Amino acid sequence: MKKIIFGGTIVTSSEIYPADILIEDEKIQLISKDLPINPNIETIDATGMYVLPGGVDVHTHFDLPMFGTVSSDDHYSGHKAAALGGTTTVIDFVPQNSESLIKDIDVWHKKADENAAIDFGFHMNITKFTSQISDEIPSLIDEGITSLKVFTAYNNTLRLDDRNIFQVMRIAAEFGFLTLLHAENGDIIEILVEEAIAKGNRSPIWHARTRPSWGAVEAVVRGVSFAAQTGAPLYIVHMNAAGEVDQLQYARDHHIKVMGETCPQYLFFNESFLEREDGAKWICSPPMRSISDNIRLWEGLSNGIIQVLATDHCPFFFDGTHSIEYEGKQVRIPGKELGRSDFRLIPNGLPAVGDRLPIFWTEGVVKRKLTLNQFVAITSTNPAKIFGMYPQKGTILPGSDADLVIWDPNKKLVYGRKVAQHRTDYNLFEDWNLSGFPIKVFLRGNLIVDGLQWNGSRGQGRYLKRSPNAYIL
């Protein structure tokens, strides 16, 4: 059935203008002022509202095994939470667990395809590099996977040495992949963790103190040098330190093809939160840093040095010995209590996929005066362009998927776990007062969120095959 969203103000990364939107066959068919209305067309009144493209979160982890448990949001509950916050597209990471990348991708499709509630794609982790893997990487393009993640931390599990990262990036340059870099120094972390444990320092704050920001900055410098030498574009994930912003700016000023993202946790919190009685809630890798790092990251977003706000969504229960109710059922999953006596055993990760847009609107647009265009660019258009989904996703144009959010800039509410609906027992932004919130969310023209009412369903999300040689912003 055709639909018309009328009376709203359309906001894209470059324009703001009043217009109506005609939706048909899951696509935006026409954008015009005062579209004619007839009884055979469903109408949605957006008077006084903004109409935004659906959010695009390119850094999420669903149903991810870690530390003897699993992240508490699967591809259904996590997608649902994303949609409730205005995000309609996500990209998840496929772990490399076998000798065949294709086999690993098939495993992840079995987790995701029947559960997906919004549209989704995959990145491929490269954590073991052999001649067979080298030969197999180009075939990922046929699978619609055009981004490869490498790590300079997690010794003996996820980390590749510099030689192999360099080889991965050479392949990326040849075939049009984007390389994603988790930037920390695994050797320094290993030494500092050993010393902390030897001295009996096992509380959550030592997670941060054993992962110093200079290790992250130094790893970014190495990644930038690889990008410069191979000609491969590089994307720095979850930037958390002021020095990383400085290095990204230096690289871009020297015309090296490097881009970056940060996440809400690195804008609002610092390592002092890990000293609280409930400090395990704030454990993620890399850790939160200092207030001065928060400030520089905000500058990076405001000035366009950082292109994307993602989340690194990977939630765990704070206390997995108690159950919560989720969609009428009791759910209990072991969580951060596993590391109650040792920070090394606390699952690393936070809930955030549903928080990203509402929190960033209030804190970024309302309080820090980011423009509406910047908000859309950072949360939707830039990630869609960088990861080969534009203009299908990330904008409002004829022919684009009708992923649309009707945003009420005057909506005020007290935020927290009940609003966000992640499948976990806490929210980092509990009791924050918000101004502005999504009131209707459409996935390919289908109304999946109406107020706080979930109208979507398991399995409605579609897998996105993404294009290589995407935009370098």
Count Cα atoms within 13 angstroms, Cβ side, for 220.
29
Q: What is the pLDDT of residue 168?
A: 98
What's the pLDDT at 381?
98
Task: Look at residue 37 and tell me whether its pLDDT is greater than 90.
Answer: no
> In which band, very low, low, confident or very high, does the pLDDT at 222 lie, cut at 50, 70 and 90?
very high
**Above 90 in pLDDT, residue 38?**
no
pLDDT at site 39 = 86
Report whether pLDDT(180) > 90.
yes
Q: What is the DSSP string of 149-168?
A: EEES-STTTTPPPHHHHHHH
φ and ψ at residue 317, rounded to 5 degrees: -65, 145
CB atoms within 10 A of CB 217: 19
- For the stretch 147-178, pLDDT in tens is 999 999 999 999 999 999 999 999 999 999 99
**Average pLDDT, integer, range 69-84:** 98
Check pLDDT > 90 for residue 134.
yes
Instruction: Give the per-residue pLDDT at 434.
Output: 98
Rounded mean pLDDT, 132-143:
98
Q: Which residues pair with 31 in a beta bridge?
A: 21
Check: pTM over 0.95? Answer yes or no. Answer: yes
69 touches 335 (CB < 8 A) = yes
Query: What's the token pair of residue 213?
Result: 């920001």
| pLDDT given for residue 191 in this prediction | 98
- Asked whether the CA dihedral 330, 334, 336, 342 is positive or negative, the reply is positive
Among 115, 204, 202, 162, which Cα is nearest to 461's?
Answer: 115
Question: HSE-up of 89 (CA within 13 Å, CB side)?
Answer: 32
**Residue pLDDT, tens place only, 404-439:** 999 999 999 999 999 999 999 999 999 999 999 999
For 431-457, the pLDDT digits (tens) are 999 999 999 999 999 999 999 999 999
Q: What pLDDT is recorded for position 410?
A: 97
**DSSP conformational letter for 339:** G
Domains of the chain, first to last: 3-52+395-454 (2.30.40.10), 54-373 (3.20.20.140)
Q: What is the mean pLDDT of residues 108-136?
A: 98
Average pLDDT, the chain: 97
For residue 350, list its beta bridge partners.
313
Helix then strand then coil, in percent of the chain rounded to 5, is 35, 25, 40
Task: Quote the CA–CA distance of 241 and 300 in Å, as a whole number.
Answer: 11
Give the residues across from 213 on adjacent strands: none
Supply the pLDDT for residue 221. Answer: 98
Who's near 203: CB < 8 A, 6+ residues apart? 275, 279, 343
Mean pLDDT of 340-347: 97
In 3D, which of 36, 20, 18, 38 has the Cα closest to residue 28? 20
Q: Which of 214, 143, 438, 205 is nearest to 342 (CA)?
A: 205
What is the per-residue pLDDT across 183-208, written as a single tens digit (0 to 9) for each?
999 999 999 999 999 999 999 999 99
- Whole-angstrom Cα distance, residue 214 to residue 235? 19
Average pLDDT over residues 95-117: 97
Tally of CA atoms within 13 A in the half-sphere of 361 that contains its CB:
24
- Predicted confidence at residue 101, as pLDDT, reads 98
DSSP H or E stretch at residue 388:
none
Q: At what angle do helices 162-175 and 213-230 cross, to 10 degrees?
A: 50
Instruction: Give residues with Cβ within 8 angstroms of 309, minimum separation 6.
Output: 261, 262, 263, 264, 301, 356, 360, 378, 379
